[in-house]
Amino acid sequence: MAPLIYYKCPICKMARDTFDDAERCERSHLPAVSVRELEYRLGAYPFRVALLFADGKEREYIADDGLFMIGQEVENADDKNKGYGKRYKGPR
Ligand SMILES: [Zn+2]
């Protein structure tokens, strides 16, 4: 029997066939360099933030802890039965 050898990117945890591929994958992930709070709702933590990355691009992220769903629209009927409440359906 031959063992299967693969390498795992420490950041995204994806398996790669070679060490070089895993290293390339690791280098491809950008850390956030700053955070800008865009919106607060109930609770201490921001509901919506924008992260700035080293390449100069900014991306928006929305909390996914279930608390933000109050009063939001439902994405589709099946979501009602998942036990998570309503899904956020806003611009991303
Ligand atoms: Zn990776």
For each of the chain's 92 residues, which pLDDT tens digit applies?
A: 999 999 999 999 999 999 999 999 999 999 999 999 999 998 899 999 999 999 999 999 999 875 555 544 444 444 444 444 444 444 54
Cα(41) to ligand 1 centroid in Å equals 32
pTM for the whole structure: 0.58
Cα(10) to ligand 1 centroid in Å equals 7
Cα(47) to ligand 1 centroid in Å equals 26
Which residue spans within the chain are E strands per DSSP? Answer: 7-8, 15-16, 32-40, 46-53, 58-62
Instruction: Give residue 67's pLDDT.
Output: 56
For residue 90, the one-letter residue type is G
Cα(56) to ligand 1 centroid in Å equals 20
Cα(73) to ligand 1 centroid in Å equals 34
